[in-house]
Amino acid sequence: MSAKYIFVTGGVVSSLGKGLAAASIGCLLESRGLKVNLMKFDPYLNVDPGTLSPFQHGEVFVTDDGAETDLDLGHYERFTHAKLSRDNNWTTGRLYEQIIAKERRGDYLGKTVQVIPHVTNEIKAATKKVAQDVDVLIVEIGGTVGDIESLPFIEAIRQMRQELGRDNTLFVHVTLVPFIAAAQELKTKPTQHSVKELLSSGIQPDILLCRTDRYLSSEIKSKIASFCNVEEEAVITAKDVASIYEVPIVFAHEEVDTLILRRLRLEAKERDLSKWEDLVHRVYNPKDVVRIGIVGKYVMYEDSYKSLKEALVHGALAHNLKLEVNWVDAEGLEAADKADKSSDKTSDKSYEAQLEDYDGLLVPGGFGKRGIEGMLRAIQYAREKHVPYFGICLGMQTACIEYARNVCGLADANSSEFDPATPHRVIYKLRELRGVEELGGTMRLGAWPCKIEPGTLAYKVYGQTEISERHRHRYEFNREYEELMVAAGLRISGSTPDGTYVEMVEIPGHPFFIGCQFHPEFKSKPLEPHPLFKAFVGAAYEHGQKLKEHKEAAEVEMFLRPDNVGRR
């Protein structure tokens, strides 16, 4: 049977959650036994998001084959079992690059290359390529309906409806129904205009996912259905929820999957969301709280660390805990440290005071020297105070620099990324990238194997000696310093099978101190938490409980002191 296609578009404003909607639909269809795949088209002219600022675009999600993709692909993988690759994310820039390369080779035989049919044909070909061997392909069109840059994608999916027919294609439009506080009512006009814009491009939506902060009444649904030319049952309340993992359950309550199956004439078993229902139950009924401080460079925009935060949530849910994340600006720790040194007394918010309330500390990935000294302060604090520490990519590199400086006595130890003239390049540029100045797609990317040393904390966490994890880095640990740092107590617990690259380091005797060169957050799922995050959160919670017990014991001891008893 050839695949069915679901096209997800968005209107009114951006950031309505098209990616989450697509992922949740995929989750529902999988729960009914169907095999799904998902893809996203991004309208911007960058070839990929790899060189985009995290403040502009959020996180770059890396697939097994090394593709730098949109963060929505992270949602797709977390909510479904789809195996994604570079074929699952296309940008306008990459499509045009491919078309121009064909034109230069003479593939078009002298024809005038135009948006229609050449660009739209490439879009359709890319879509059909990832629809092989699946029952349903869900395609998200990035941007907002009406944007000039997204018009070729809208035209391409319009053509696919014409070519494949209504039984094989379905249009889902995510729109906004805002509540106007001054009028104390929901307004449907933005949705009406959004659908009108879509109709002007030749597309009649089949299902409307109406983003709102409250349930839509039957009167509101009837009004939207009447003005937007859809059935009332196809007007879906996509209500705000406290946890994104509740979205599939909300959609199931609205019978979104039942509607899709009927429209696409698909036969499937009854849905089974028991595991998701159990997950959501744990989300809203935690036994306790665990507090994690993330010391990073891009903390002002949380989407920069989207997969990281979700992986921590997964690790907390594995222990039936509520995650409380605090974003600690690494530069703020630098400023606090300078304030401490410039005055005789400790400032109100010294770097230690900023870190003392956390059960565990994590330093994530990043590029450039900004905030590095603050990260080093946080790592030193975690090492000396025995606070569970987890360093990812840059977090591993800075952990090595901190250890070289403060344990091995190499005061000027650094990375050649931050100080090219440092006499002790503990971290330096990947050997195969020396002389390569281009930034796009030139890192060590994708899934690479790692051999774990038996008897280490890493081995205890993974329970195996061979693993595969996803990478995105341009610098590596300099093994010339291995002997010195190992002699001082650092343990290299993971390396590439050929011994070229150091993949994991740890400090024996510390409750939990692990740095990894790879990005484990990209492989964590809510129903399958990554072992490193599960172990880190567990260690952090245990540390927090011990601190709490010590504090309570100290308070009791103070209360029972003779001088206090005498006063009573």
Question: Which residues does the annotation mark as catalytic?
Answer: 393, 519, 521
Q: Which of 251, 289, 283 is nearest to 527 (CA)?
A: 283
> Of how many residues is the chain composed?
568
- What are residue 415's DSSP bridge partners? 427
Where b means 16+ CB within 10 Å and e means fewer, 378-400 reads: bbbbbbeeebbbbbbbbbbbbbb
Contact 379, 391 (CB under 8 A): yes
Q: Which of 89, 524, 55, 74 is nearest to 303 (CA)?
A: 55
Which H/E stretch holds residue 84? Answer: none
Contact 391, 515 (CB under 8 A): yes
Q: Which of 189, 195, 196 is nearest to 220 (CA)?
A: 189
Beta-carbon contacts of residue 128 (< 8 Å; ≥ 6 apart) = none
Residue carrying structure tokens 């341009």: 474
| DSSP code for 416 | T
Structure tokens at 358: 């956390």
Cα 552 from chain centroid? 38
Amino acid at 559: F
479: left (phi over 0), alpha (psi -120 to 50) or beta: alpha
Counting Cα atoms < 13 Å in the Cβ hemisphere of 398 gives: 33
Query: For 427-489, where are the alpha helices, taking DSSP H only?
Result: 457-462, 482-487
